[in-house]
Structure 1
């Protein structure tokens, strides 16, 4: 420890002496001395504590280190550092991936004047981002307070502040550009009423920058502190208004839909607004968060330096963007898989019973179809249609299929995790939600198999009575039972594949719900000219409403069916043991297998073993689909959830103390802030009004107050002016002032100067 302390002290002394001639190698030695390669938080903070003690003993070391860093970074482009680092680009995914592929074959030229290149050189350890994140906030606060330049080097502060102010102006113009982008206005016409906020923040930014630069005398390359510093409050208010607009747009996503490009624009808008907050803290320290701003910016620089050429980071960012797009639109109507009370519990059983009834017939059709001699593609098509059309029929009939985890569930999970002030409270709510999901899935499974099995038995019995022969051979029956064997077959891996497809079907449902809203599919169906010739207008309107409300569920179910129906064929063509197992179909196959099995081979042990296999298939279906839904929910909200062990302990404790909650609804259900008793997200449609400063060059569009008498008098004055100029040949013969009554205006009516003319809420309906 003494040797290390002496080495660190020597490095700081060397940096302090050479602060006039900064070079990267000395700073790299300093960072190497602080680096801890393990994940030992105590070791990391012990080194930082040692550094803090040295700086407290020798304040000149802190001032020298600050001057050294500022002089070194002054040789690089700092404006792009402040304005670009950590903010996602506008490049498409394909362009970015092609760029990185090209980099692997012919490396891209480094930007020698970029601070990120400097950071890449300084932080060249594989664990640098990790050990920086392990430093406690208290140590960061002490460290930032100790590393400050003295009054002899105020020109360095002035140079840094000028760069920050220039970056503020650049970010401000970018925010205005995104906020006034054509696609945003086309997609969300209501934004037109709030465009003044984006322009006003730009005005406030330019005003703040000019006043700050003048009051601090930055043009003279010094930093003079005025008696009363420039208050950034007006600018912060306008940035808050811009953020409110983004929040308002997100609240309406479930109705309007959203594109990948629009999602990207909103994320860039939020990141740019947040970066302006950070930069304002750096120059003004308005909310006493300058230390946090420095730390956050430093960590962002290191993260960018480590990940700029990473395929994994690029894919991670884009999948987060995609998952956010999908989960933000979780469907206005559709399938809901969370019940929090007894009424929802009973409704789920009824829906699952309908699904079980139809699944029994679907499983029978698939068994009969397997005896047909078809080409592999033909067999895949037949099975896909049986599954796909069957699932669509179940949805239209009001039924459901057990273990499905649609995007609605992911959105519900995300809303529970991301809201709440306490991590412990969030974790407890998440555990309760998981219990509700498990209980709902349990009753859905019971509803499916409790109806599918007896209906399958009736079908098998009716077939024998009607045709006088067995539906399948004893060999086929034995094979059906073998497919359920959890030990001597691949039933559980196949169940995991079905779980992945169950999860994907939920994302597909969310995607098509979003597509229907974003492209206004329902309204377009209502206006379709060909359909207007084929059906009455009332039918066409009902069809449009149905498509808009159910397109996601229909497409999710149909594509899910195609997944299930074609997996075995794809496995056969590739020579891989691919297939699917789903608990509802497995239960129907169990009945057919036992019914048509040879009596000599049928035992109660075999029946029990096969039934246990069915239950294990259902458990794997549920675990895989739910785990993937939880993952996509966390990714969509950018929640770094690491308390898996704590969540598992809470779940286990709940299972031990209240096991019935996993199977039977509680007397008093848990209330969630954004989830109703049937699992639907409760959306907040309250739109925040934006207050625009009086000096804004752009006014709020619309809401014009009309004054009829004033307008009439203005018209008269114009007419008189035109008459005096010889442009009118004739006016009223008595040349008296025109009265309101002569213009058809009833002064006693409600439409007068005190009551402005009514403004229509929307344009008049055009003829179809």
Structure 2
């Protein structure tokens, strides 16, 4: 049966039911290929063909031909019935579209296999054959366009009595199988411990299996349609209770954390409950035709998305992104000022952070002067940065460039319910608070870092008669930090690293909570024996409060030092341009070359690069973090116009609110 674009005559002549199972399956594959082929045979005289998808038009044409040729109709109908009778229907109805194992990474590996390894029609699993037949992502479009008359005629080929759905046993088997899978997944320790105990009080995950068994018993005992409807309604009510209990997991994520596999299991549980609803509708509906079309459409969509890696990541990372941003948001609240007292406090914190970075800058020059190999030079610089950022954190000071990646998720919280004017006003207020906070942070850092570096340089001139850095290093600073070079590109790249550090912070804190390390530190017998009960509990609280900041600071410092070093190994000329560090370097060059440098254009081109570097550091990291926050919150993009309009209105009426706190 070679060839792809078969004509209808060849298909009808090849419809031999007594053939082998593989030949019958291949016939179905070629039938779908013929249906998708545009052009050629069309249903003559059929109404509504204009705008109808080609597969539907060709399906109507096939049915018309079979009606005119009874011998072909008998052969095709026999082939379809024998094919369906020899396949395991629950493989499609209960298993198709779900991962065979409860794990995100096992599903990822399975999708990679489906993308790069061919499938075989030699199978007894209807789900595997369905995936092989409906392998075009456009299949759901034409399946949704099949009208009732055409679908009923198609069912007549597959069943002797098209008025009744002939696969009741397959449907109820699949419902029971899905109910068992829902119970097994929900009662695993990872999910069970995170559910609200109140939702488990009536044992809904045990009842769902019992309700499915009761429905089967009603079918076997010949229950009336009304009795079947009652049992189906009871099963639906139990499923709702199961979904409510599963939804309560989100309320306990702050205490227990989240993992990729856990999110994946939650999605699978909800999808299985939806599948049970679809099968129930086909089983007990007086007219199952619309429900059957909906079920077929959902299965076709599952087939189209079965190979999609993007769909897998998009579907299962939304909740993870939400938890990362929520944890970052709690930290980000500390970086937002809302009144003059907080604004002055932020200035003080930024002044302290800028002073520490002044020492960091000169230590970086000392490490460079050692002329270490590239990797070790990068590691030394990274450890220098990381230690400095940790000291700033422990002293409760701040570095401005860390703020936007942490504050964007906090601001995204104000986008909840943005459709209302009140929520929109709160969001605009938060934008103003955020911009003022960034302004205070930058001003404080830059006002402190330059004088500290110049003072240390002056002290070195006074005590040793020479500056802390040589003329060659000062010339390199003027050459590398100028606005005329790739400074803007490197500053944007540094913004990406700033965002990545906030993401790492959220992940590390989630990992810390997920494995309950704070509880282990507080109550593990070894911890208590080593630290004492009071000190162990104090250490547990300290790590819980500071793990996010430590992860952000250490990861940021190491990335600022190591990423350029590792990039150079591959010949990539990447460098970092951190606004506070760059300002300190320029001040160090001025301290070495002296006041005559103020008359050189090269110096002022470096000074001009400072606001550009600040804007790109802050803007890129904030944009990436805010985008992640929007995805995690599931925000409606159509509200962006209202947001921009509200921001423009605030700018016209009160521009000063974006730079200075109000008097009240």
TM-score above 0.5, yes or no? yes
- The separation in 2 between residues aligned to 1:146 and 1:625, in whole angstroms, is 55
Contact 1:362–1:387 at 8 Å: present in 2 too? Answer: yes
User: Among 356, 359, 366, which residue is 2:357 paired with?
Assistant: 359
Q: Report the CA distance between 1:537 and its aligned residue.
A: 4.0
- The separation in 1 between residues aligned to 2:55 and 2:616, in whole angstroms, is 52
User: Among 135, 138, 153, which residue is 1:128 paired with?
Assistant: 138
Report the equivalent of 2:493: 497
TM-score normalized by structure 1?
0.66
- The separation in 2 between residues aligned to 1:412 and 1:145, in whole angstroms, is 54
Give yes or no for the alignment of 1:479 onto 2:457.
no
- The separation in 2 between residues aligned to 1:25 and 1:102, in whole angstroms, is 23
Report the equivalent of 1:279: 279
Q: Report the CA distance between 1:341 and its aligned residue.
A: 3.7
The superposition leaves residues 437-477 of structure 1 with CA deviations (integer Å, 9 ceiling, x where unpaired) of 55654443344334333433443344434444222233322
- The separation in 2 between residues aligned to 1:534 and 1:588, in whole angstroms, is 43
Give yes or no for the alignment of 1:580 onto 2:576.
yes
The superposition leaves residues 702-753 of structure 1 with CA deviations (integer Å, 9 ceiling, x where unpaired) of xxxxxxxxxxxxxxxxxxxxxxxxxxxxxxxxxxxxxxxxxxxxxxxxxxxx
Report the equivalent of 1:171: 178
Report the equivalent of 1:400: 398
* Aligned positions of 1:204-603 closer than 5 A: 204-211=211-218, 229-230=229-230, 232-284=232-284, 294-295=293-294, 298-305=297-304, 307-308=306-307, 312-313=309-310, 316=313, 320=317, 323-324=320-321, 327=324, 330=327, 334-336=331-333, 339=336, 341-342=338-339, 348-404=346-402, 440-488=437-485, 490-527=486-523, 532=528, 535=531, 537-597=533-593, 599-603=595-599
Contact 2:560–2:576 at 8 Å: present in 1 too? Answer: yes
- The separation in 2 between residues aligned to 1:606 and 1:368, in whole angstroms, is 24
The superposition leaves residues 469-498 of structure 1 with CA deviations (integer Å, 9 ceiling, x where unpaired) of 22223332232233222432x323322332
User: Among 86, 90, 100, which residue is 2:101 paired with?
Assistant: 90
Note closer, same or farther for the CA distance 1:428–1:236 as it changes in structure 2 (3 Å cut).
farther
Q: Mean alpha-carbon deviation: is it higher for 589-598 or for 101-110?
A: 101-110
The superposition leaves residues 578-622 of structure 1 with CA deviations (integer Å, 9 ceiling, x where unpaired) of 322222212222322334335444337545432332222233333
Note closer, same or farther for the CA distance 1:323–1:185 as it changes in structure 2 (3 Å cut).
closer
Q: Report the CA distance between 1:576 and its aligned residue.
A: 2.8
Contact 1:483–1:491 at 8 Å: present in 2 too? Answer: yes
Contact 1:117–1:305 at 8 Å: present in 2 too? Answer: no
Q: Mean alpha-carbon deviation: is it higher for 23-32 or for 469-478?
A: 23-32
Contact 1:83–1:170 at 8 Å: present in 2 too? Answer: yes
Report the equivalent of 1:47: 51
Report the equivalent of 2:657: 664
Report the equivalent of 1:629: 625
Q: Report the CA distance between 1:113 and its aligned residue.
A: 4.3
Contact 2:487–2:577 at 8 Å: present in 1 too? Answer: yes
Report the equivalent of 2:209: 202
Alignment partner of 2:574: what SS? coil
Contact 2:135–2:303 at 8 Å: present in 1 too? Answer: no
Q: Report the CA distance between 1:388 and its aligned residue.
A: 1.0
Q: Report the CA distance between 1:172 and its aligned residue.
A: 0.6
Structure holding more helix per residue:
2
Alignment partner of 2:488: what SS? helix
Q: Report the CA distance between 1:365 and its aligned residue.
A: 1.9
Over the aligned positions, Cα root-mean-square deviation in angstroms equals 5.2
Q: Report the CA distance between 1:255 and its aligned residue.
A: 1.3
How many residue pairs match? The answer is 624
- The separation in 2 between residues aligned to 1:492 and 1:75, in whole angstroms, is 66
Where does the alignment leave 5 or more consecutive residues of structure 2 unmatched?
Answer: 1-6, 18-23, 41-47
Alignment partner of 1:84: what SS? coil
- The separation in 2 between residues aligned to 1:159 and 1:662, in whole angstroms, is 70
Q: Report the CA distance between 1:164 and its aligned residue.
A: 2.7
TM-score normalized by structure 2?
0.75
